[in-house]
């Protein structure tokens, strides 16, 4: 996160992981089934965590072509494997996490990446189901198929019947299904300190002159609606050069004060192994509506060669694998 470009490609995209020490998908900042402690800022008692029978489910969590959903025991086993492979092995803080809970006990520290306007945007991609939990996205979709599809968190607010009206064509269809009105997505705008320009996978986030760039992910959770008056994904993901830096000038800036924390790369390839990569995360707590027709248009042609949503990593809940959030 020389890293070869092929390794970097693994970091953000849900592809098979690079070989892990002793024992990596999509983007940037690992656990057993212990409950999260209450955050220092006085949050309510911990909500049900994924992989427990108390988790909440909704209709958008159905898994197509993946054989799910799996029982809680599968998620519990993945958490146990992650804990065993990461605790005491020197891994830094992991992602994704509950952004409403500030507690963390991982002592590894690395420098916070610069503000995104002083870095180059190198990649944009999205996950179906929010990888993070908190803010307006607290509804647990379900365990999914055990490999990152049909899981994550959904928008906990209400949508109108018109917003939920079926779209006439499948959008981002894969063997795991397609995006439909009402689905929640988490969009990752990935930035690097390397002198690069936007392109496919995280391989676009470095060059031969910068082997260890700092990485930042600006994360925005969105709910897809069948409404042509909703913000357009093609506009939000438009690219330009600003003060010499590659930027997404329409990056949402009004979705609440971002929660900034130190974490890692994500994606289901890390469900049972710690990610060794260091990423500064900035996660907005409010959900933005986005037009499904505009998402279809973006999938039809973008410099990142993205044409579908990727799977999600299990929420990381073990305190030793989380950084403390400074509020």
pTM of the model: 0.82
Residue 110 token pair: 């690395």
Which pLDDT value is given to residue 327? 66
Distance between CA 42 and CA 316 in Å, rounded? 20
Question: pLDDT (tens digit, 9 = 90+) per residue, 87-123?
Answer: 989 899 999 999 999 999 998 989 999 999 999 999 9
Which pLDDT value is given to residue 162? 98
Residues whose CB falls within 8 Å of the CB of residue 203, separated by 6 or more in sequence, listed in order: 5, 6, 8, 9
Which pLDDT value is given to residue 202? 82
Distance between CA 217 and CA 223 in Å, rounded? 19
Strand partners, 190: 123, 217
Residue 277 token pair: 């990569």
Which pLDDT value is given to residue 54? 34
Rounded to a whole number of angstroms, the distance between the first and last alpha carbons of the chain is 27
Of residues 50, 157, 56, the one with CA closest to residue 97:
50
Contact indicator for 96, 315 with CB cutoff of 8 Å: yes
Distance between CA 270 and CA 138 in Å, rounded? 22
Which pLDDT value is given to residue 211? 78
* Three-class DSSP category at 226: coil
Which pLDDT value is given to residue 67? 58
Distance between CA 135 and CA 184 in Å, rounded? 13
Residue 282 token pair: 């900035």
Q: Which residues of the chain have pLDDT under 50?
A: 1-66
Of residues 48, 96, 6, 29, the one with CA closest to residue 262:
29
* Three-class DSSP category at 207: strand
């Amino acid at each position: 996160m020389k890293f070869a470009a092929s390794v970097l490609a693994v970091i953000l995209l849900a592809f098979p992981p690079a070989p892990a020490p002793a024992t990596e998908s999509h983007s940037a900042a690992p656990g057993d089934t212990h409950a999260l402690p209450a955050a220092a800022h006085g949050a309510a008692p911990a909500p049900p965590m994924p992989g427990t029978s108390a988790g909440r489910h909704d209709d958008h969590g159905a898994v197509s072509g993946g054989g799910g959903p799996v029982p809680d025991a599968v998620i519990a086993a993945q958490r146990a494997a992650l804990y065993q492979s990461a605790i005491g092995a020197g891994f830094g803080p992991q992602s994704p996490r509950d952004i409403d809970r500030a507690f963390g006990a991982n002592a590894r520290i690395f420098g916070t990446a610069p503000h995104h306007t002083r870095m180059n945007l190198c990649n944009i991609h999205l996950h179906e189901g929010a990888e993070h939990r908190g803010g307006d996205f607290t509804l647990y979709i379900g365990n999914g198929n055990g490999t990152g599809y049909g899981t994550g968190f959904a928008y906990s607010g209400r949508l109108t019947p018109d917003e939920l009206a079926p779209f006439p064509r499948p959008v981002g269809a894969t063997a795991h299904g397609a995006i439909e009105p009402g689905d929640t997505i988490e969009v990752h705008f990935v930035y690097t300190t390397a002198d690069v320009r936007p392109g496919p996978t995280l391989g676009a986030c470095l060059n031969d002159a910068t082997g260890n760039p700092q990485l930042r992910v600006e994360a925005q959770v969105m709910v897809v609606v069948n409404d042509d008056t909703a913000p357009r994904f093609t506009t939000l993901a438009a690219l330009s050069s600003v003060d010499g830096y590659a930027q997404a000038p329409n990056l949402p800036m009004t979705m609440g004060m971002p929660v900034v924390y130190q974490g890692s790369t994500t994606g289901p390839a890390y469900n049972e192994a710690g990610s060794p990569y260091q990423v500064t995360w900035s996660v907005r707590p409010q959900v933005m509506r986005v037009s499904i027709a505009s998402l279809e248009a973006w999938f039809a042609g973008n410099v990142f060669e993205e044409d579908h949503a990727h799977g999600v990593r299990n929420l990381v809940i073990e305190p030793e694998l989380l950084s403390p959030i400074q509020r």
